[in-house]
Amino acid sequence: MTIAPPESQAVLLARAEALAGRDLAWLAGELGVAVPDDLRRDKGWIGNLLELALGATAGSRAEPDFPHLGVEMKTLPVDARGRPRESTYVCTAPLDGSIARSWEDAWVRHKLARVLWIPILGDGHPGERIIGAPLLWSPSAEEEAVLKADWTALTEAIGLGETWQLEARKGKALQLRPKAAHAREMTWVIDDEGEWAQVNPRGFYLRASFTGSILKKHFAIG
DNA sequence: GTGTGATCATCT
DNA sequence: AGATGATCACAC
């Protein structure tokens, strides 16, 4: 079953809102998709299911999920208290020198310019998890300032070849984490002594505390 | 092999 | 329990 791409952000949001409160087993049934018993071997199952349901087109290409709308969709697993259970993957971190020269050009910034967050409630059987109320979001001035500061610091460390600094402890909101099939997978970088070196590929992730603050800001009872 | 979708597994 | 580092599946 294929769903046509939404013609506007309003339509996209309306579609997402119509799914809120449903469980994933229901949605999978509507789409003719089998529900796995757990996500160990289907880590992207929820994300792919929601993309299908909302009419995303980009697939695994390096584009927003809704290219014509400039919107990226991300599911966000949350616990009973409404706090994100995991960090959120944003995109691959370029370690090879093809780094954007400014935050304005950064891939991370474009990815996060407009995001449709879809909270997924529960941590039990995938089919029993509930689709939450969606949030069509753009970073506030303060949020963008934090992201920019983190990105600048992390990018600087990459640019200087300080490979030992490419660890998850850095960054208030944005962090670098391994992003590969396994730890033996390597990519080439030039280290701080100008020598070629091999390191595990990294990706940019949003800390759960950051995505949690986004949800809290928009859904907290005033 | 790289990028997209993420969660798992382990350590502190 | 929360964070860090490791890992799984699929498309191209």
Burial class (CB in 10 A: 0-12, 13-18, 19+), A125: middle
Cα–Cα separations (whole angstroms), residue A11 to A6, A8, A92, A113, A196:
6, 5, 29, 19, 49
Going A24 to A26 to A64 to A62, the CA torsion angle's sign is positive
pTM attached to this predicted model: 0.96
Q: Is the C-beta atom of A36 closer than 7 angstroms to strand B?
A: no
Q: Which nucleotides of C are covered by protein (CB under 7 A)?
A: 3-12
Share of chain A above pLDDT 70, in %: 98
Q: Is the C-beta atom of A75 closer than 7 angstroms to strand B?
A: yes
State the CATH architecture for A9-218: 3-Layer(aba) Sandwich (3.40)
Q: What is the mean pLDDT of residues A95-104?
A: 82
pLDDT in tens, A119-155: 999 999 999 999 999 999 999 999 999 999 999 999 9
pLDDT band at residue A62 under the 50/70/90 scheme: confident
Q: What does the mean pLDDT of chain A come to?
A: 93
Q: Is the C-beta atom of A82 closer than 7 angstroms to strand C?
A: no
Give residue for tokens 């039990």: A124
Which two three-digit tokens encode residue A147? 């992201």
Residues 193-212 of A with CB under 7 A from strand C: 200, 207-209
The pLDDT value recorded for residue A61 is 82
pLDDT in tens, A200-222: 999 999 999 999 999 999 987 54
Domain ranges of chain A: 9-218
> Widest CA span of chain A, in angstroms?
56
Can you tell me the distance from the alpha carbon of A197 to that of A192, in angstroms, rounded to the nearest whole number? Answer: 10
* A216 CA – B11 C1', rounded, Å: 29
pLDDT in tens, A152-183: 999 999 999 998 889 999 999 999 999 999 99
